């Protein structure tokens, strides 16, 4: 697949997963659906590792960092996303989650000492202002403004959790741990930890046999967690992480368009302005050349939806 195909595959799949998540909500508790999703995704990745005869033996201390990444990136992050989408549209959650780019930069500064340039600060302010502009009409016109604010808060917390998970992913890259195996183990641990949390809360491990639930589960596990990630990593290998990072600016556009078509997301003047500001802020940050340490920093990591 050429570069354009890899870019479009990553953007269209990850951009669509926000809407597909809504088909997981309802009958099965959100925590249980997350456990199902990443348990299945981990099984697929382990099967691929076995097919390619990739090494899967790591010491206990490495497994502890896999578990922490799983808890943050594939556990808490996604539980909060599912909860957020029970309150607000998937497009709004995706736009809020686009702040991950800025959270990654702040986290890289905190944990790795990466320098933050003035243009990066300006981009972060633009992105945050854009999200606020989009949310304001929703809060003012909604009959359940409390739900909008709760959904926004949950989406914001999920973004922070994902950013901390990206720090662990960067830690694994610094130690030259293979990404495929690291994510397989992390997804497995994330699924197990979420399942334990659901059991502790007394959630029933039910299953929805409907076509919508099963097809969305398979789509999220296979396409959202395996195919798109593979396409993105190949894209990074072809054109570099900086240029591949522009998927972060395009993914919210796809998510918002789909939310408009299928969820009835209402557009206002502030919505147009806010989306434009948010995308402009992301592009400005991605265009800014940072001065990270010689080992990989998590600024350009792309989230798996």
Q: Which helix (H) or strand (E) holds 215?
A: helix 211-218
Q: How many helices (H) and strands (E) does the chain have?
A: 14, 0
Per-residue tokens: 179: 């990404």
What integer pLDDT is reported at residue 300 of this predicted model?
Answer: 44
What integer pLDDT is reported at residue 242 of this predicted model?
Answer: 63
Backbone φ and ψ for 291, nearest 5 degrees, come out as -120, 75
Query: In this structure, is residue 215 part of a structural domain?
Result: yes
Dist CA 105 CA 122 (whole Å): 13
Give the number of other Cβ atoms within 10 Å of residue 40's Cβ.
19
Query: In this structure, is residue 53 part of a structural domain?
Result: yes
Give the residue ranges of the chain where pLDDT is below 50: 290-302
Per-residue tokens: 186: 């992390």
**How are the residues of the chain apportioned to helix, strand and coil, as percentages rounded to the nearest 5?**
80, 0, 20
Give the number of other Cβ atoms within 10 Å of residue 197's Cβ.
18
Query: In this structure, is residue 305 part of a structural domain?
Result: no
DSSP 22: G
Contact 293, 104 (CB under 8 A): no
What integer pLDDT is reported at residue 138 of this predicted model?
Answer: 78
Residue 135, classified by CB atoms within 10 Å of its CB into exposed (0-12), middle (13-18) or buried (19+), is buried
Q: How many domains does the chain have?
A: 1
Dist CA 302 CA 305 (whole Å): 9
**Four-residue CA torsion sign, 164, 167, 172, 175:** negative
What integer pLDDT is reported at residue 304 of this predicted model?
Answer: 53
CA neighbor of 78 nearest in space, from 145, 32, 110, 111 = 32
**pTM, rounded to two decimals:** 0.88
Q: What CA–CA distances, in Å, run from 202 to 39, 216, 271?
A: 19, 25, 40
What residues make up the domain containing 251?
A: 3-300
What integer pLDDT is reported at residue 197 of this predicted model?
Answer: 96
């Amino acid at each position: 697949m050429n570069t354009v195909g890899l870019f479009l595959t990553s953007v269209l799949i990850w951009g669509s997963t926000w809407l597909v998540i809504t088909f997981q909500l309802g009958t099965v508790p959100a925590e249980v659906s997350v456990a199902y999703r990443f348990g299945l995704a981990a099984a697929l990745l382990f099967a691929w590792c076995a097919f390619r005869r990739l090494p899967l033996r790591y010491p206990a201390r490495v497994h502890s960092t896999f578990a922490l990444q799983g808890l943050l990136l594939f556990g808490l992050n996604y539980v909060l996303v599912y909860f957020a989408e029970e309150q607000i549209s998937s497009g709004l959650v995706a736009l809020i989650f686009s702040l991950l780019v800025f959270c990654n930069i702040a986290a890289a500064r905190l944990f790795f000492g990466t320098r933050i340039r003035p243009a990066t600060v300006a981009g972060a302010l633009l992105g945050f202002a854009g999200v606020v502009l989009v949310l304001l009409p929703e809060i003012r016109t909604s009959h359940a403004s409390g739900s909008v604010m709760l959904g926004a808060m949950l989406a914001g917390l999920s973004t922070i959790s994902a950013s901390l998970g990206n720090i662990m992913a960067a830690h694994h890259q610094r130690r030259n741990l293979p990404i495929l195996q690291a994510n397989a183990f992390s997804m497995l641990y994330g699924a197990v930890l979420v399942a334990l949390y659901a059991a502790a809360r007394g959630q029933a491990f039910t299953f929805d046999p409907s076509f919508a639930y099963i097809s969305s589960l398979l789509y999220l596990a296979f396409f959202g967690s395996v195919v798109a990630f593979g396409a993105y990593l190949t894209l990074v290998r072809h054109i570099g992480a900086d240029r591949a990072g522009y998927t972060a600016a395009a993914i919210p556009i796809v998510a918002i368009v789909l939310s408009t078509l299928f969820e009835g997301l209402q557009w206002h003047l502030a919505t147009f302005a806010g989306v434009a500001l948010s995308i402009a802020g992301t592009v400005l940050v991605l265009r800014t050349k940072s001065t990270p340490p010689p080992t990989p920093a998590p600024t350009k990591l792309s989230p798996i939806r």
